[in-house]
Amino acid sequence: MTAYLLKRLAIALATLVLASMVVFAVLEILPGDPARLMLGMNASADQVELLRNQMGLNAPLVLRYLHWAGGLLSLDFGRSYTYSVPVIDLVRERLAVSLPLALIALALSTIIAVPVGLYSASRRGRAGDTISMGVAQLGVAVPNFWFALMLIYVFAVWLRLVPAGGFPGWSAGAWPALKSLLLPAVALALPQAAILARVTRSALIEILNEDYIRTARAKGLPYRAVLWRHALRNAMIPVLTILGLQFAFLLAGTIIIENVFYLPGLGRLVFQAITQRDLIVVESVVMLLVAAVIAVNLVVDLSYAVVDPRLRSRQ
Amino acid sequence: MSLLEIENLSLTIGDTPILKEIELSVAPGEIMGLVGESGSGKSMTALTVMRLLPHAARATGRVTFDGIDILAATEDQMCALRGDDIGMVFQEPMTALNPVKTIGEQVAEGIRWHTRASRADAEERARKMLDRVGLPSAKFPLSRYPHELSGGQRQRVVIAIACALKPKLLIADEPTTALDVVLQAQILDLLRDLVAESRMGLLLISHDLAVVTEMADRITILRHGEVMEAGDTASTLSGQLHPYTRQLAQASMHVPARAKPHLVGTDQPLLQVEGITRDYPGRRTSLFRRAPAIRAVDDVSLSMAPGQSVALVGRSGCGKSTLARMILALDRPSSGAIRFRGEAITGKSEAELKPARRDMQVVFQDPYGSFDPRQKVEKLVAEPLHVLEKKPTRAESREMVAHALHEVGLDQRDMDKYPHEFSGGQRQRLSIARAIITRPKLVVADEPVSALDVSIRAQILDLFAGLNQKLGIAYLFITHDLTVARAITDEVLVMHEGKIVERGKTNDVLDHPQSEAARALVAAAPDLHRAIAKRMQEQG
């Protein structure tokens, strides 16, 4: 188990270093001079050169990489060219929206998907299965912003239970902040739940054909007990894999939903930074997401080992 | 009164009739053997008694267990019976246990479910049961996981689960088919003891007539879902009045007619294996440490003449498949040398191996798993042709495939079919056609008939014998089945824990085994003649 853990950890760290090099290199190759951008088109070449020196843009490539990577380690991401504030402040502010949103959406998607998958798998081929999988198919096909608009119409405009958009900030209290995240979380969760339910169902159906399910039935366990005690845990591996992927998507791939609900999230930050060529912000957020994805994968790998004893004893 | 009484049982799945008017009974303390070839309905009969049939199955007739009408019982009643009064053991021990639960949990689960015992009580009973089936607590604590056990040990766990609550009836569906003969003998002994201890009825299902004859008091022979013959084991098998019974018995004892060993100029050996050893790195115990290496093959030397047929026998895990892989140059020995037709094949590149690959081919055990289901026979059988020096044209290739199919007794029109259109025996013919298409000098066959029914197996053995005579192909048969070795080989090598412990003429070794390993194999091997003779004495 320790060997497995250490190996996974080493792989995660190596991936992180490699990814930081790629991110740094790509942004180096991209055309556009940040100093020129900050000073505007009317600045003289001398002024640009001065700023380039100040920003350290003229130092050798390796030195600049080390400086940048060292900064990342001490959470010093540099200053945004356009906002002229430390990037870390921007990111912290946006994460306060995006992270809770992603977590709520993920939790919702799991809570919806696993029972639906269990139900469908246990009534395979019957009406209940056909209907719930039909609904899931619809959930996969319909884009989440459409759900978002429908949710706004019903819960915000019609029932007036929650605000239609905007984010009051956590300083306004936990409940108002949570309330404004509720609809976007549901809109994000529904398509994810649809995918997850289908994965859960097919994983379970495969497991239900295994010999050890028959052994469990021959012990006298009723079908439902077999499903919960024997099938579900074995079906967890594909489900955990999808959950890991979904978390990464929910953290940064939510730009459309953030726009629909006017949420100041990470997705919008990246989008704005790209259009304004605020490369240092782009770099930092991309690195942050890379780190998050790697961390989630690490957690997923470790949970495989918790679920499956065979992984614990292998390396 | 009978414990289990099956009367006039018919079963259909969808529109396909599976069982027709089956009659069968098991008394307390009695062993009933249910014999038949694959597809004869043996397992479906067992699953009907357990009421674990596929959804689309419809059963009519009457199944009475201990006074309960099984076909009319509710699901709750069945759940109360299963695992408590009726236990079941399945064929494939490697997959019959849940990989994420400990053996203790899995044995205790049924006990807890039926008796509402506390966890501690149930675990104590599970512990006793595991001790009883030969898994003592010192080596097999309850916290072991299935993947930490061998096939034979897992089958013991499955038996412990089935017998944990002292059922009145145990159904064992091919309980030893996946095990080697020594393990088979141990498991059969265990089942016999459990029957004797608590007057449990045992319905023993097997395709192996010798196993059933050794075990069963009475026997029911099934074919195409119908009972062919039923009665006392001794009289049924000694009389062999029913033609199908006779056919089965003869097929199980079939020895292909072979003329003198086909030796083609013995001046140069075909294959020489000199002191090869194969070590596998041990398990990593921490980041920097490994357990000592495992020696799968230990200083093995052997030599085969052209056209010679040699058996490599041994228990599962003795290293015989590893040895075969190295001979086929699919794995590299850690040390030692292998010479094929005088040329060293160890340490050569794939390109340099091409001529050798042309002259040695392989036939695997599982005719289902060794073909790509999406390719036509023409392409599958022509696969080895890429090792020929000159790539044949399409027409030449078709010609060669047609010829190879003809030689294995298939029609040349079969080349445009897909593998699923063939039966198990026909598929094994296809893999033999694939093996002989390059006119090899050596064919390595890894348990080539152990997945086949006895009558098909007799045909395939005949085919191997015929090709040996006709084409002068030498065979290396890897098997744990001594009847196969006896039927078709001139010489036998007995392998045990990586070493060859005995070698000699097949009949000499099998009749008078010297080494302990060989004696154990011979003693454990079921033999129909011997079993019938013993039954005759017992049952008069």
**Cross-chain Cβ contact A309/B145 below 8 Å:** yes
Give the Cβ contact number of residue B245 at 10 Å.
21
pLDDT of residue A315: 43
Count of CB pairs separated by less than 8 Å, A with B: 88
Give per-residue pLDDT as tens, A230-265: 999 899 889 999 998 888 888 867 888 888 888 998
- Tell me which residue in B90, B96, B286 faces A3 most closely, judged by beta carbons: B286
Alpha-carbon distances of A314 from A9, B148, B292, B322, rounded to whole Å: 16, 11, 16, 21
At the topology level, CATH places domain A88-313 in: MetI-like fold (1.10.3720)
Q: Å from A178 to nearest chain B CA? A: 38
- Chain B residues in contact with A219 by the CB 8 A cut-off are 82-83, 109-110, 113, 161
Do B280 and B274 meet the contact criterion of CB atoms below 8 Å apart?
no
Q: What is the pLDDT of residue B285?
A: 65
CB of B209 within 8 A of CB of B188?
A: no
Torsion B450-B455-B457-B458 (CA) sign: positive
Provide the greatest CA pair distance for chain A.
Answer: 85
How many helices (DSSP H) and strands (DSSP E) are in chain B? Answer: 19, 20
Given a cut of 70, whether residue A314 has pLDDT beyond it is no
A210: nearest CA partner in chain B: B95
What residues of chain A lie within 8 A of the CB of B156, using their CB? none
Size (chain A), residues: 315
Cα(B157)–Cα(B192) distance, integer angstroms: 16
Report the 10 Å Cβ neighbour count for B20: 16
Confidence (pLDDT) at B284: 67
Nearest CA distance, B83 vs chain A (angstrom): 4
| B408 touching chain A per CB within 8 A | no
Interval B451-475: pLDDT, tens = 788 888 888 899 898 888 888 899 9
* Cβ contacts of A310 on chain B, cutoff 8 Å: 99, 145, 147
Strands B57-65 and B4-13: antiparallel
CATH fold of the domain at B271-526: Rossmann fold (3.40.50)
Torsion angle of C-alpha atoms B223, B228, B230, B236, degrees rounded to 10: -100
Instruction: Note the pLDDT of residue A17.
Output: 92
Q: Are the C-beta atoms of A81 and A278 separated by less than 8 Å?
A: yes
Report DSSP letters for B410-452, one per residue.
--GGGGGS-GGGS-HHHHHHHHHHHHHTT--SEEEEESTTTTS
| Mean pLDDT value of segment A303-313 | 84
Contact assignment for B110 to A307 by CB distance below 8 Å: no
- In this prediction, residue A104 has a pLDDT band, given cuts at 50, 70 and 90, of very high
The answer to whether A79 and A280 are in contact (CB under 8 A) is yes
- Which DSSP state fits A152? I
Pair B531, B219: CB distance under 8 Å? no
Note the pLDDT tens digit of each residue in B503-514. 999 999 999 999
Q: How far is A236 from chain B (nearest CA, A)?
A: 11
Subunit contact A219:B98, Cβ cutoff 8 A: no
Q: CA-CA distance, B222 to B217, in Å (whole number)?
A: 17
Q: How does strand B474-479 pair with strand B442-446? A: parallel
Q: What is the pLDDT of residue B3?
A: 94
- CATH 3.40.50.300 segments of chain B: 26-252, 271-526
Q: Taking residues B363-383, report their average pLDDT.
A: 85
Q: What is the pLDDT, as a whole number, of residue B342? A: 87
Hey, is the C-beta of A313 within 8 angstroms of any chain B C-beta? yes
Residue B264, pLDDT above cutoff 60 = no
> Given an 8 Å threshold on Cβ–Cβ distance, is A221 in contact with B109?
yes
pLDDT (mean) for B55-76: 93
What per-residue confidence (pLDDT) applies to B278? Answer: 93
Per residue in B379-413, pLDDT (tens digit) is: 999 989 888 888 888 899 999 999 999 988 889 88
Q: CA-nearest residue of chain B to A7? A: B287
Of B50, B83, B96, the CB nearest to A212: B96
Region of poorest pLDDT, from A123-127, B322-326, B518-522:
A123-127
User: Which of A77-81, A272-276, B441-445 is predicted least confidently?
Assistant: A77-81
Q: Please report the pLDDT score of residue A306 as a whole number.
A: 87
Q: Is the pLDDT of residue B240 over 90?
A: no
> Could you tell me how many helices (H) and strands (E) chain A has, helices first?
15, 0
Domain ranges of chain A: 88-313
Condensed to tens digits (0 to 9), the pLDDT of residues B116-172 reads: 999 999 999 999 999 999 899 888 999 999 999 988 899 999 999 999 999 999 999
For residue B420, the model assigns a pLDDT of: 85
Closest CA to A257 of A108, A135, A142, A147: A147
Contact status of B526 with chain A (Cβ, < 8 Å):
no
Nearest CA-CA partner of B253 in B223, B208, B311, B216: B208
Please give the CATH architecture assigned to the domain spanning B26-252. Answer: 3-Layer(aba) Sandwich (3.40)
